[in-house]
Amino acid sequence: MLHTFVALVEDKPGVLTRVASLFRRLNINIISLTVGRSERPGVSRMSIVAEAPAGAGHRIKASLFKLESVFDVDDVGQLQCVTRELALIKVAATPQSRAQIFQLSEIFRARIVDLAPESMMLEITGAASKIEGLIQVLNEGDNQILEIARTGRMVMRRGQHTSHVLEAFQLSQPEDEPIIPLTAEKGSENLDVISGDPNHPM
Amino acid sequence: MPSQPVSSAAPHTKQLTGAEIVWATLTGEGVRTVFGYPGGAILPIYDALRKYPIHHVLVRHEQGAAHMADGYARASGEVGVAVATSGPGATNLVTGIATAMLDSVPMVCITGQISSKLLGTDAFQEVDITGITLPITKHNFIVTKSEDIGPVLRRAFSIARTGRPGPVLVDITKDAQQGLADFNFEACAPQPHRPHPMLSAENEAVSEAIDLILNAQRPILLVGHGALESGATDQLITLAERLHIPVASTLLGLGAIPASHDLSLGMMGMHGEAWVNQAIQQSDLLIACGMRFDDRVTGALTSYAPNAKKIHIEIDPSEISKNVKADVALIGDLKEILETILPRLAPRKDQSWVKAVNALKGVAAVRDIKNLPDSGHLYAAHVIHDLWRATAGKAIVVTDVGQHQMWEAQYYKHDAPRSLITSGGLGTMGFALPAAIGAKMARPDDEIWVIAGDGGFQMTASELSTLVQEKLKINIAVINNGFLGMVRQWQEFMYESNYACSPILSPDFVKLADAHGVPGATVRTRGEVAAAVKAAREADGPFLINFLVEKEDAVYPMVGPGAALDEMIRRPANGHNPLLETSEEP
């Protein structure tokens, strides 16, 4: 089954290797792994999705904790979470077939982010199933998919914070440090941030 | 930097080279002895050594340095330190680091590295040692700035000795060793140790455990290396005595409770005694204390202690339910957890289970072999038993890996914690001699015996020279059967006695010792054992005894790999059984 972990780790060279190496040692395949900065300086946040036997979650979590570079781990597989993935899809499109892709993107709430004489690029954000749905429809249509780039899943628990341990061990900044508020899943400006707006680094 | 009034704010701050910071930090951490081998990329550190009160033991191969640091740590409970240069110096440490990792031994390895500007260029003697040792260290660091050396080394010591101990490697570039930095030992203190967030011995679990213990009819305590690391001997004895619970031990747990204690069953598992394994299979509650249900301990997992509930007391949460599913897990320091539990456990009167276990012993037990007749053969069992008698069980015995190691575990009765030093998890041949040197440096007043096979002894025999250079009094018993004995035994049992590449030719070990100025003796019969052991013990310096033992003896009983714990291969009754050659009652 798929296990999903959120790990808060030191933002230092080699940490990704340590985490990845742990999964390698346990002979567990990583389905996706996204890393980026968190709300705290010096702390990166990883969302890790891995295929492992149902009972393996405890041991993976406990082993991740054992890495000195890991501050906190949350096994969020069974919890209430918002899960999002971003995909860029480049589709072959002629001026005649563009309209159909515009329609599809409307239905899937994807956005057209690039238009070239012979292709279009779609940006879609959502649960993995939604992205796979769009890919399937595109595959079934006349428009050949030229390229797909997917970020892998990013996960955040609803309500409760994952990063409580950071506070407990005073690894965080002083309390008056502004913390980026948890935002709801709506809002296109969030998507802009994820799309890599240089003024809003992730 | 000059604008920062650091030195006035912190009076103990001094400006030192990175190399000096290494030794100053080690001195501050209480290190008095290190084991190492110099080389190009670590010369600045060696150059600075003379200014600090630290004794350096020059080894003959860096693997020896790692094993010595390991032996030092196991004998003393303190962090052992090994030092090596970059490249081959660092890679030679690898086997020793892995040995310490598998047995949870606190160790800090310091390696030199080429200058930071050359990193990644395949410069002379460059190797990515942090990459290589990533899976066999608890953590490792590469330091490229002089000012980072103090804080990183202090954190390395903290990581090595806290929680479940383990080896930490610190790789220091040559320019970091040579550069200057402000140093203040106190200011380098690491953040307080981050306890594993999954540590939990919550009231509910404690109550469940207590219920299970009080209601068990046939409980057994299983003690492992964690009992030694936690220093929980007294608490374990109290628990065992109060509720009449027999105690079985893993190889690394031997000595955690005295072997002479009435409730001590000795070693369990692949070469544990049959009745000990039978008792485990019949029990209704296993209380596992600081052990990890290694495959050498459980046999086939599907049939392991089928009727027993399992309470697992363990400091590493990733060990819980890894091999054997725990019904109750108490995660934390063994001693603290036992101290929480003990006040809530009332004494039990019923001793029927202990009696039943003793009845299982029957003729299966390894019996006192004091009065074995001399049949003309010399058996390793004889040798080790006689050694135990001669030393009154008070020596620190450092073993190598193989048959002699199992015979040692069966016949040398360890009454004190940290009196058996052996490579359990990794099973590293060549461990004994260097580890014994480390142990002797840690406990110079104790009597130390190396017991090694003829195969393993040759792997690190070059450290004899180290032993002599350090003028250490260590006695060496080579159990010489002309075979890689355990390999031969497996070939006999499982490969139709096809002794492929297991016969081994050895030099005359007594002459080898003599070449080092070490006296020795060769022993061929039982009658010569006592005199040779006496001569060794009375010699001022080291002494080597070459025991020429029966070539094709096997360690019995044995649980075959993958077999159930109570399906043991027993010594054939018509074989050359040293135990049956006695008229003694069991």
Assign a CATH topology to domain A82-150: Alpha-Beta Plaits (3.30.70)
Q: Looking at CA atoms only, how far is residue B119 from chain A in angstroms?
A: 14
Q: Compute the distance between CA of residue B239 and CA of residue B254 in angstroms, rounded to an integer.
A: 17
- Strands A111-116 and A119-126, bridge-based pairing: antiparallel
Phi, psi of A91 (to 5 degrees): -120, 140
Question: Same CATH fold, A82-150 and A1-78?
Answer: yes
> Which of B 512-541 lie inside 8 A of A, CB atoms?
none
Q: Work out the angle between the directed axes of helices B18-28 and B146-161 (0-180°, nearest 10).
A: 30
Q: Does residue B557 have a cis peptide bond before it, meaning omega lies within 30 degrees of 0?
A: yes
Q: Looking at CA atoms only, how far is residue B285 from chain A in angstroms?
A: 23
pLDDT digit string, tens, across residues A142-160: 889 999 999 999 999 988 7
Residues in A closer than 8 angstroms to B131, CB to CB, are 17
Residue A166: per-residue pLDDT: 54
Please enumerate in sequence order all residues whose Cβ is within 8 A of that of A107, keeping only pairs 6 or more positions apart, or say none: none
Domain ranges for chain A: 1-78, 82-150
Rounded-to-10 torsion of CA B297, B302, B304, B310 = 100
Phi, psi of A182 (to 5 degrees): -65, 125
- Give me the architecture of the A1-78 domain, per CATH: 2-Layer Sandwich (3.30)
Please enumerate in sequence order all residues whose Cβ is within 8 A of that of A175, keeping only pairs 6 or more positions apart, or say none: none
Q: Which of B389, B379, B435 lies closest to B552, judged by CA?
A: B379
What type of residue sits at position B213?
I
Residue bearing tokens 């002794």: B499
Residue A185: per-residue pLDDT: 39
> Which of A 118-147 lie inside 8 A of B, CB atoms?
none
Q: Do A66 and B318 touch (CB under 8 A)?
A: yes
Residues of B designated as active site: 62, 124-125, 174, 486
- Beta carbon pairs, A and B, within 8 Å: 43
Contact of B79 with B160, CB cutoff 8 Å? yes
Given CB atoms, is A112 within the 8 Å cutoff of chain B?
A: no
Q: Compute the distance between CA of residue B423 and CA of residue B400 in angstroms, rounded to an integer.
A: 7
User: Burial letters for A8-31: b for 16+ Cβ neighbours within 10 Å, e otherwise?
Assistant: bbbbeebbeebbeebbeeeebeeb
Q: Do A65 and B138 touch (CB under 8 A)?
A: no
Q: Compute the distance between CA of residue B473 and CA of residue B462 in angstroms, rounded to an integer.
A: 17
The rounded average pLDDT for each run of 10 residues, N- to C-terminus, in chain B (586 residues) is 43 89 98 98 98 98 98 98 98 98 98 96 96 97 97 97 96 98 95 76 89 96 97 97 97 96 94 91 96 94 95 94 94 95 94 93 58 71 92 97 96 96 97 98 98 98 98 98 96 94 97 98 94 97 97 89 87 58 39
What type of residue sits at position B54?
I
Q: Looking at CA atoms only, how far is residue A31 from chain B in angstroms?
A: 22
Contact of B289 with B247, CB cutoff 8 Å? no
Q: Do A65 and B191 touch (CB under 8 A)?
A: no
> Which of A 48-77 lie inside 8 A of B, CB atoms?
55, 58-59, 61-63, 65-69, 71-73
The domains of chain B, with CATH numbers, are 6-188 (3.40.50.970), 203-363 (3.40.50.1220), 366-555 (3.40.50.970)
Q: What's the CA angle centered on A49, arms A46 and A53, to 5 degrees?
A: 135
DSSP B200: B
What radius of gyration, in Å, describes the C-alpha atoms of chain A?
Answer: 19
Q: Is B321 helix (H, G, I), strand (E, B) or coil?
A: coil
pLDDT digit string, tens, across residues A48-75: 999 999 889 999 999 999 999 999 899 9
Q: Give CA separation, B512 vs B344, B508, B544, in Å.
A: 59, 6, 10
What type of residue sits at position B222?
L
Q: Is B270 helix (H, G, I), strand (E, B) or coil?
A: coil
Q: What's the CA angle centered on B252, arms B365 and B427, to 5 degrees?
A: 100
Phi, psi of B153 (to 5 degrees): -65, -40
Mean pLDDT of A128-151: 92
Confidence label for A183 from pLDDT (cuts 50, 70 and 90): very low
Q: Compute the distance between CA of residue B38 and CA of residue B332 in angstroms, rounded to an integer.
A: 40
Q: Compute the distance between CA of residue A69 and CA of residue B130 in angstroms, rounded to an integer.
A: 14
In sign, the C-alpha dihedral spanning B366, B368, B374, B380 is: positive
DSSP B217: S
Contact of B401 with B456, CB cutoff 8 Å? yes
Confidence label for A174 from pLDDT (cuts 50, 70 and 90): very low
Long-range contacts of B575-579 (CB under 8 A, 24+ apart): B576/B375, B576/B377, B576/B550, B578/B369, B578/B372, B578/B375, B578/B377, B578/B379, B578/B381, B578/B382, B579/B366, B579/B367, B579/B369, B579/B381
Please enumerate in sequence order all residues whose Cβ is within 8 A of that of A12, keeping only pairs 6 or more positions apart, or say none: A69
Residue B366: per-residue pLDDT: 55
Mean pLDDT of A119-125: 96
Q: Do B198 and A68 touch (CB under 8 A)?
A: no
Q: Give CA separation, A16 vs A37, A46, A156, in Å.
A: 13, 9, 20
Q: Compute the distance between CA of residue B530 and CA of residue B553 in angstroms, rounded to an integer.
A: 21
Q: What is the DSSP string of A173-198?
A: --TTS--PPPPPS--HHHHHHHTT-T
pLDDT digit string, tens, across residues A9-30: 999 999 999 999 999 999 999 9
DSSP B566: T
pLDDT digit string, tens, across residues B496-540: 999 999 999 999 999 999 999 999 999 999 889 999 999 999 999
Residues in B closer than 8 angstroms to A163, CB to CB, are none
Residue B576: per-residue pLDDT: 52
Q: Do B134 and A18 touch (CB under 8 A)?
A: yes
Residues in A closer than 8 angstroms to B316, CB to CB, are 62, 66
Using left for φ > 0, alpha for ψ between -120 and 50, and beta otherwise, residue A42 falls in: left
pLDDT digit string, tens, across residues B2-13: 444 444 445 578
Q: Work out the angle between the directed axes of helices B233-243 and B334-341 (0-180°, nearest 10).
A: 30
Residue B195: per-residue pLDDT: 72
Given CB atoms, is A25 within the 8 Å cutoff of chain B?
A: yes
Neighbours of A115 (CB within 10 A): 10
What type of residue sits at position A80?
Q
DSSP B343: G
Q: Compute the distance between CA of residue B362 and CA of residue B354 in angstroms, rounded to an integer.
A: 13
Of B130, B196, B320, the CB nearest to A65: B196
Residue B200: per-residue pLDDT: 77
Instruction: State the distance between the two ends of chain B, measured CA to CA, in whole angstroms.
Output: 78
Q: Do B198 and A61 touch (CB under 8 A)?
A: yes
User: Burial letters for B248-277: b for 16+ Cβ neighbours within 10 Å, e otherwise?
Assistant: bbbbbbbbbbbbeeebbbbbbbbbbbbbbb
Q: Compute the distance between CA of residue A166 and CA of residue A38 in angstroms, rounded to an integer.
A: 12
Given CB atoms, is A29 within the 8 Å cutoff of chain B?
A: no
